[in-house]
Amino acid sequence: MKILVAVKRVIDYNVKVRPKADGSDVDLANVKMAINPFCEIAVEEAVRLKEAGTATEIVAVSIGPKQAQEQIRTALALGADRGIHVETDARMEPLAVAKTLKALIEKESPDLIIMGKQSIDADNNQTGQMLGALTAMPQGTFASEVKVADGKVAVTREVDGGLQTVELNLPAIVTTDLRLNEPRYASLPNIMKAKKKPLDTTTPDELGVSTEARVNLLKVELPPERQAGIKVPDVDTLVDKLKNEAKVI
């Protein structure tokens, strides 16, 4: 079984994000970048499937600037077998990413696609679902457990009401939630070995995908600072304040 994992380069989750002075975008100058945590969980799941003998090959894909190769190398160090870098400096919206992945799926014919449920930069939570629609593949989103057997994958999903398990025919798309697994640290010897693993590059153009933006970014600003809360003595006062001061009910 062949698995395709998508990994995205995002601001490291420990970094305090700031807008640029002119508000044109998030300030990325000298900011530490890392693999999106949900993508890391996706890689870990793929590696576990390979270690269990279920999967035979893991291909890690990243779409983004030249430096996104670092995140592919991380995936390779964690256990992916080879990488594909789709190089672009465009601001990639979920639909463009989904189209790019579809083009790669047509080339690679993976049996399972594992990706994060969202990336912590824009938190769109759309790409997996869009990819499902574009490829007509079944999708199991927000996975907290993944079991592959007999040409099918059983995905336990974290939904609002609790857990839901769906069974999907392969090939299928799985998007990972936080509790699916706890990713390992890449060992230093594996980081070294990852240097020698194959990494191919291509571009959206070569794949025949348009990266044209459909959303205009007008301004990036910090949310207003939260005011300190107050304590009210009883429910009546609360209702009164919500009605007459906050005017929300």
Partner 1 sequence: MIRDQEFLNQILDTISRFVRDRLMPLEAQVAEEGKIPDDVVQEMKELGFFGLTIPEEYGGMGLTMEEEVLVAFELGRTSPAFRSLIGTNNGIGSAAIVFDGTEEQKQKYLPLYASGETIGSFCLTEPDVGSDSAAVKTTAVRDGDHYILNGTKRYITNASRAGTFTVMARTNPEIKGARGVSAFLVDADLPGITLGPVDKKMGQAGSTTCDVIFEDCRVPADALIGGKEGEGFITAMKVLDRGRLHISGVSVGAAERLIGDALKFAMERKQFGKPIAEHQLIQAMLADSKAEAYAARCMVLEAARKRDQGHQISTEASCCKLFATEMVGRVADRAVQIHGGAGYMAEYAVERFYRDVRLFRLYEGTSQIQQIVIARNMVRDAS
216 binding partner 1? (CB under 8 A): no
Q: Which of 4, 34, 95, 148 binds partner 1 (CB under 8 A)?
A: 34
d(CA 179, CA 230): 35
30 binding partner 1? (CB under 8 A): no
What is the nearest approach in angstroms of partner 1 to the Cβ of residue 14? 8
74 binding partner 1? (CB under 8 A): yes
What is the nearest approach in angstroms of partner 1 to the Cβ of residue 70? 6
What is the nearest approach in angstroms of partner 1 to the Cβ of residue 69? 8
69 binding partner 1? (CB under 8 A): yes
What is the nearest approach in angstroms of partner 1 to the Cβ of residue 93? 28
CB 125 within 8 A of CB 101: no
What is the nearest approach in angstroms of partner 1 to the Cβ of residue 189? 5
Residue 32 gets the label, from left (phi > 0), alpha (psi -120 to 50) or beta, of beta
Which CB, 195 or 243, lies closer to partner 1?
195
Q: Would you call 163 helix, strand, or coil by DSSP?
A: strand
Which CB, 134 or 178, lies closer to partner 1?
178
Which CB, 69 or 176, lies closer to partner 1?
69
Q: Would you call 239 helix, strand, or coil by DSSP?
A: helix
CA distances (Å), 138 to each of 48, 52, 114, 191, in order? 22, 23, 12, 34
Strands 162-169 and 152-159, sheet pairing: antiparallel
Give the phi and the psi of residue 43 in degrees, each rounded to 5. Answer: -65, -45
CB 55 within 8 A of CB 1: yes
d(CA 4, CA 50): 12
62 binding partner 1? (CB under 8 A): no
167-196 residues in contact with partner 1 (CB under 8 A) are 185-189, 191-192, 194-195
Which residues bind to partner 1, rule: CB under 8 A? Answer: 14, 34, 69-70, 73-74, 77, 185-189, 191-192, 194-195
